[in-house]
Structure 1
Amino acid sequence: MPNHFHLLVRIKPFSEFEVKAKGFPSKTDISKLSVGEIVSELFRRFFMSYAKSINIQEGRSGSLFQKFFRRKLVDNDIYFSRMVYYIHHQLRHHGFDKLDYRTYEWSSYRRILEDRKSSLKKMELLEWFGGKIEFIKFHAQGLDEQVIEHLTIED
C-alpha cells in the first residue's frame, strides 16, 4: 500500500538456544520474555536495519516509519481466514478504491496464485482454503467489514 503494510506471520516454535543465536544479548534471560516480546524485538531490529539501509541508499537520515510496529495474535481458524481476506482487501478498507487487490503490484494475492517458486508458504495457504478455486471464491465473496472490524488494529 502507498502508506503502510500488513504482514501475517506464523511464528515457529523455537527454543532458547535458537533465540540467543539470533543476536539476543547473553545477559537477557530469554525465559522471562514472552513470545510477543521476542517477536517485537526481532521485528524492531529488522525495521531498524531496513531504515538504515534506505537512509544510506537515499542519502537521508532520521526515522523511516511514522508509527510503531503493532501486532495482534491470530488465535483461531476463523480469525486466520478473515485476516488473509482483510490483508488482500485492505486497499478498499483504507480508501484506495481505485486499486484492485487482484492486480495490485504489492499485494501477495496475485503472487500466491502464481505457479512460480516463492519463499511464501503458498501451498499451505491454498490448501487451508481448499485449493486455488476456493481461495479465489473466498476473496470474491465480499465479507462485511463489520465482521472483521474488531479483529484489526486501527488508529
Structure 2
Amino acid sequence: MEFKPNTLYHVYNRGNNKQKIFFNYGNYLFFIKKIEKHLLPHCDLLAYCLMPNHFHFLNEPKEKTEEKEINKAFQIMLSSYSQAINKQQNRTGSLFQQHTKAKMLETENPLYAEICFHYIHQNPSKAGLVKEIERWEFSSVREYALLGNEKLCNQEKAHLLLNIPKDGNEFLELSRQVLSEEMIERIF
C-alpha cells in the first residue's frame, strides 16, 4: 500500500471468500487491541468500523512515519490476528483477502473524506445489523456521539479536517444522513 504524509486514506479488507473474520465478541475486542498496538503508533485513526466479515479505517499517516513502517504495521496486525483466529477456529489458510486496499481520498475536494467518514459509520445500519448506527459497538460512531469510553480515534484532527460537529447529537444527526451511491463510489 502506498501512504503519503498529510493525506487521508480509506483502508479496508474483508474475509477471504467474503467469509467472517470476527466469530465472537472477544474477537472484536482482540482486533481493537491489535489496532492500538500496531497501527496507532504510525497513523492517526479518524474513523473505523469492524463488521462480521470486513473492516474499514479512515486514517492519516503520522508525520515522519515511513510508508514501510505503516505497511509493516498492517502486515503484523492482520497476520497475528489471523494466526489467533485460525487457532481458535481450528482452521488453516488465509483469513483476509490477499491485498488490503488503501484508497487515497481526493484532496482537491475534502467532501470525499467526510463522505467516507459517514459511510464507515453507516455500514452496520446498511447491512441490517442495527437500526441505529450508534447501537453498533465496534465502530468509532460511539466515540464521536460521546456514548462510549473507547478512544481510538484522533477526534481533534477529525473535527479539524472533516468539519465534524463536536456535539454528540449534532454528529449523530449528520452521520445518519443518507449518502448517494455516486458519493460512495468516490471513496472506493
TM-score interval, smaller chain? 0.5 to 0.7
Counterpart position of 2:165? 130
91 and 117 in structure 1: CA distance in 2 versus 1, 3 angstrom threshold:
closer
Segments of structure 1 that go 5 or more residues without pairing to the other structure are 20-34
- Does residue 1:151 correspond to 2:183, yes or no? no
2:58 maps to 8
Tell me which of 114, 129, 138 is aligned to 1:106. Answer: 138
Greater relative contact order, per chain length (Cα 8 Å cut-off, separation 6+): 2
TM-score (norm 2): 0.57
Moved more, 59-68 or 101-110: 59-68
- Kindly name which structure, 1 or 2, has the bigger radius of gyration based on alpha carbons: 1
Tell me: CA distance 1:125–1:44, structure 2 relative to 1, closer, same or farther (3 Å).
Answer: same
CA–CA distance in structure 2, aligned partners of residues 51 and 115 of structure 1: 27
Match of 2:34 in 1: none
In 2, the alpha carbon distance for the partners of 1:117 and 1:147 equals: 29
SS at 1:68 equivalent: coil
4+ residue stretches of structure 1 with deviation over 4 A?
Answer: none
Aligned residue-pair number = 131
Report the structure, 1 or 2, having the larger strand content. 2
* Aligned 1:62-73 pairs, distance under 5 A: 62-73=93-104
Q: Check the 8 A contact 1:126/1:135 in 2, yes or no.
A: no
Alpha-carbon distance, 1:64 to partner: 1.6
Q: Is it true that 1:43 corresponds to 2:74 in the alignment? A: yes
Q: Given the superposition, is the C-alpha separation of residues 140 and 61 from structure 1 closer, same or farther in structure 2, using an over 3 Å criterion?
A: closer
Identify, as 1 or 2, the structure richer in helix. Answer: 1
- CA root-mean-square deviation: 2.6
In structure 1, the residue matched to 2:117 is: 84
Report the CA distance shift for 1:89/1:48 in structure 2 as closer, same or farther (over 3 A): same
The alpha-carbon distance between structure 1 residues 129 and 68, as it changes in their structure 2 partners (threshold 3 A), is same
TM-score w.r.t. structure 1 length?
A: 0.67
